Amino acid sequence: MEEKINLKELNIREGDTGDFISHNVDNCTGCGKCVLICPANLWRLEKGKSILASDYKDRCMECAACESICDYNAISFMFPKGGTGIKYMHG
């Protein structure tokens, strides 16, 4: 799928974030809201559950929209530790 935003022109990434998003598959109903809202297309549906892209640490915008929109507490987002992760070039 085509990227909704040209990520490469917006940011650089620094350091090792470690994992900062976790997905509780047992709570996931497959409603698809995370798929629709993620600006980086990092979620997809498969067999009635959502799946987070394995390379999300390299592409995530750290917007936390996926956690906010999930009505079933299936997504947990924590900002990466200071000095790591996305660094916006504009704004």
Task: Provide the binding-site residues for ligand SF4, judged by CB under 6 A.
Answer: 21, 28-34, 37-40, 42, 50, 56, 60-66, 69-70, 72, 74-75, 77
| Residue 4, CA distances (Å) to 31, 32, 47, 81, 88 in order | 21, 17, 24, 26, 17
Q: If we measure between CA atoms, which residue out of 26, 28, 67, 22 comes closest to residue 45?
A: 28
Minimum gap (Å) between residue 30 Cβ and ligand SF4: 5
Minimum gap (Å) between residue 22 Cβ and ligand SF4: 11
Kindly tell me which of 47 and 83 has the beta carbon lying closer to ligand SF4: 47
Minimum gap (Å) between residue 91 Cβ and ligand SF4: 16
Kindly tell me which of 17 and 38 has the beta carbon lying closer to ligand SF4: 38
- Indicate the residue type of 48: G
Q: If we measure between CA atoms, which residue out of 58, 26, 30 comes closest to residue 44?
A: 30
Tokens of 2: 């085509």
Kindly tell me which of 10 and 37 has the beta carbon lying closer to ligand SF4: 37
